Structure 1
Amino acid sequence: MTFVETAQASSASSANSAAHQPLMRVQNLSVRFGTQEILRSLSFDLMPGQTLVILGESGCGKTTLMRALAGLIPVTNGEIQVNSVSVARQGSRDRGIIYLDQEPLLFEHLNVTENIAFALRLRRMAAKKVADAVTLMLQEIDLCLHARKREWQLSGGQKQRVAFARAILAHPQLLLLDEPFCSLDSQSRNQMQQLFSRLSRQHSLTSIFVTHDVKEALVVGDCFARMTTGNLLIYPDRRSFMIDPATGIPAEIAFWQKSATQRE
């Protein structure tokens, strides 16, 4: 084997090994506010390119977990690793993580194109490359006709598309989404779920997606967990998630089956 072949084989082996290593590893993570323990020794791995959906009711600790992972609140105990690097004591700007919630938080003084291009321009990318990347992204999110509009001229769904597009082009190591579509109407929400699923696969995003909606969970998720009062249950596969009565999915399936039978 030549030197070049050896180098290529080594590179391929390293890439293959990296693909089988967790992008994020959380071990025994706890968060306490005063005497109240909000998160209780949570542990999980997230592989590259996966979307982990965390299902849970309001007040169970989902947002606290997301903010702790993003570095927006301190952890009491435990470890957070991103690509095998400990980030638990790093600031939010050093983690390579983007956190999105219900509020798109667009820059009001910038139009759609400028909002999407923001991260690329921060990296001082060449103007032509920025323009090409933004043009392609506008096509992907179907907002070409709205490229020059400002934040106040957009619908809720359009704002979320812009925020999502901006996050994708920032190339985060990890994307955290905290019920990002819950304030949208049903049609817009369905469209955003489909768009998220398509672009996640297209851009090989690694994400954690928090929701209390089981249908949304099944649309966007590759792997699944359920949170209750600061504890996290990780399901081994999609079927295990779907058959667990605690998720509400079996009851919903039974309801629709009964409804269909009654109308026959």
Structure 2
Amino acid sequence: MFSGFDLGKPAQITFTLDYHELLTGDLKANVNCHISYDPLRIVPRDGSYVHGDPNQPIFVHVQFQKNGPTESKQLYSPNGIISAPHIDVTGQGSMLFQEVLIPNNAEELIIWFSYLNPNTNETLYERNSDRPLFYFFRWPYHDAWVRKVDIIDSSTSSISSFELEVGTIPSITEVSVNWRVINAEESLKQVTSLTDTKQTDRDNNKIWTLQKSVPKGAVVRFKLNYEVNGRKYKNDNASQYFLAPEPQRPNVPPPPKPSTYQYFRQN
């Protein structure tokens, strides 16, 4: 089975100024999720917002089930008020932070943000909307994972086969792969549905397969899309995507064994 890039690492979701939501780490129930948020996504662009000012509060709101209870926390600046914040659309600039504990019974993570404008006493949402914009996350490494992947070359043809096998939890009803050959000119992204084999592994997880023709020697970059309870999610390997054929792990030699020294005491 393909080992996820961030499997077992702390979960973090970064909300960038260019309106991307980047999930890294191992998001799942019973862990803390670190929220990193660019306040310029939500505050008025009139220059009245001061980064990190607690009197200009931005809140993160979360739910763990559809129509479940809501938890709200104020985002904070670890460096306090910053009069000249560093602006970076990729999330590497001055950000606000908070942590959310995902309970054991969580079915998903639903997130939205609000800003209380102290000048007007008006609650604003992202993109100057009067309604919340909701973001939905699940547990990608534990919902849908790569069991096998390879590029199979033919000895008699210039065409190879991109072959993928995916495992999922039983409740997933649809799986597709968003993929592209990255070492061929003018190769466009494709989205292809996987076939439910109607087979399961020993843990009763579903098995899905795909076989597509690609140029000989192709390298395919891909991510998984899947559907649970009518909602779509993705596993993009912590924004790193997956590769076929799988990259070879470096053969790093083990560290040398420590030498045994004998110490002699002179009398």
Higher helix share: 1
TM-score (norm 1): 0.24
Higher relative contact order (CA 8 A, sep 6+): 1
Structure with more strand by fraction: 2
TM-score by length of 2: 0.24
